[in-house]
Amino acid sequence: MSLVVYLAGAVFGLSCVVLLRRPLAVPRNPLTVSTCVAIVLGALVFVCSAPLTLSAVNRLTGIANFGAPLTYGMLSAYSCSLLVLLINWRGGTPARIRRLVLRTMAAYGALIVAIVVLFTLAGPSTERLTDLDTYYANTPYMREMIVLYLLGHSAATLVMCAVCVTWSREVTGLLRTGLRLILTGILLDVVGFQLAKYTALVARWSGHDLDFLSTGVAPPMASLGALTCSLGFVLPRLLPVALACRRDLDDLRGLGPLWSEVRFASLAPKPPMAVWQPPRVRLHWREVSIHDGLLALAPYFDDGVRERARDAALHEGRSAHEARVAAEAAMVSDAARRAAAHEEPRTTPSTYRLHATEVAGTGGLVELAQALTRSRLTATVPEGTVRATPG
């Protein structure tokens, strides 16, 4: 079970890294800070609650079950961080936010002190690593400590449920999806962890044994809820970045035919090599290099080649824009062939501007690369081949 809990804590904690655009920088946005603090505390709760950690803590401190108030105190701090996150998320005047945050921290600080005091008064001597809640359910002071930490956690999660339901009706897109994932994770915690714990405790108080709910159902459900919550935290920021990287990679591959045509003429300096570069960096370098290559080929541009290719494309029924791009591809291909053969540039340089140099971004270059690919495919069709026409 420790492995599952450690894995949940690791994934929960890694989502904090995703939320920080520059992990080495100190974040100044209170919402980002409170979100990351909540995620880190949630990860620490899982680490502290693992049986291996509990055993190590008990052995190092020499106090039986010392890991229990440590875990419960960490869980209470996590519950407090959830409410602080909601306060910062809701917003308001700085004075109001500061006042509510201080009140919340004071309340949960008192709860943590009460947990430690009750544990000290109880003095449990029998070490229990997985079933402490139910084993000590009827022990004075321990009983109150267990109920107290559960009530503190329940209060925070129920408030967060209510806020997520309200906000998910007011927002759209990825933010709504993220809120619903957070809500789902919290509901898994409420139903799978808290309700299971409460039921097992009540069963003990009434003389029954439903310990499996506390030891077998609650931990994996809490882990699943935490993973779902972490996905809700990072999705609104991670998915747009992932989609942007995919678009950059698609454009990078799309520029391949054009780059292979003009790369010999490009004199753009190569960037410093790195083990891994973001697609955006590679795409920017390729775009600059292609523009440099096209500039070097400009003295070889033949307007006659372009006009004949444009007329042929129009005769085939292509639109004016498609015909223009196809004609430019033919002109670039002809210029690259003559430049590679070391022929002399044209005595009267063309003043024509390519469509790709008139538009921002890589869209025009990708169009030109696609036209080059089509022209190469057309050139490979043997003469006399009969093409089927729809009809």
The pLDDT assigned to 1 comes to 54
Nearest to 79 by CA among 51, 52, 115, 55: 115
What region, left, alpha or beta, does residue 62 occupy, with left being phi > 0 and alpha being psi -120 to 50 degrees? left
The pLDDT assigned to 389 comes to 38
Classify residue 308 by burial, with Cβ atoms within 10 Å: 0-12, 13-18, 19+: middle
Assign 102 to helix, strand or coil: helix
Query: Which letter does DSSP use for residue 39 in this model?
Result: H
The pLDDT assigned to 271 comes to 66
Classify residue 141 by burial, with Cβ atoms within 10 Å: 0-12, 13-18, 19+: middle
CA distance 37 to 42: 8
The pLDDT assigned to 25 comes to 45
Residues in Cβ contact with 349 at an 8 Å cutoff, skipping those fewer than 6 apart: 298, 299, 301
Token pair for 300 = 């070889």
Give CA separation, 281 vs 102, 250, 271, in Å: 44, 14, 9
Cβ count within 10 A of residue 54: 23
Question: What is the mean pLDDT for each group of 10 consecutive residues in the chain (391 residues)?
Answer: 63 63 55 80 85 91 92 93 84 88 95 96 91 93 95 92 86 86 92 94 94 91 84 78 87 92 84 67 90 92 92 92 93 92 87 88 91 72 41 38
Nearest to 196 by CA among 221, 232, 171, 177: 221
Contact 88, 34 (CB under 8 A): yes
Token pair for 351 = 């003043």
What the chain holds in terms of domains, given with CATH numbers, is 2-239 (1.20.1070), 259-379 (no CATH)
Residue with tokens 């045509």: 261
Residue with tokens 């391949």: 256
- For the CA atoms of 153, 210, 187, 14, the dihedral, rounded to the nearest 10 degrees, stands at 70
Contact 192, 219 (CB under 8 A): no
Token pair for 101 = 């945050």
Query: Which letter does DSSP use for residue 277 in this model?
Result: -
Cβ count within 10 A of residue 299: 15
The pLDDT assigned to 308 comes to 93
Give CA separation, 26 vs 31, 214, 334, in Å: 13, 39, 54
The pLDDT assigned to 15 comes to 63
- For the CA atoms of 216, 220, 221, 226, the dihedral, rounded to the nearest 10 degrees, stands at 150
pTM of the model: 0.69
Long-range contacts of 29-35 (CB under 8 A, 24+ apart): 30/88, 30/97, 31/85, 31/88, 31/89, 34/81, 34/84, 34/85, 34/87, 34/88, 34/89, 35/85, 35/233
Residues in Cβ contact with 321 at an 8 Å cutoff, skipping those fewer than 6 apart: 355
Residue with tokens 């329940």: 154
CA distance 337 to 339: 6
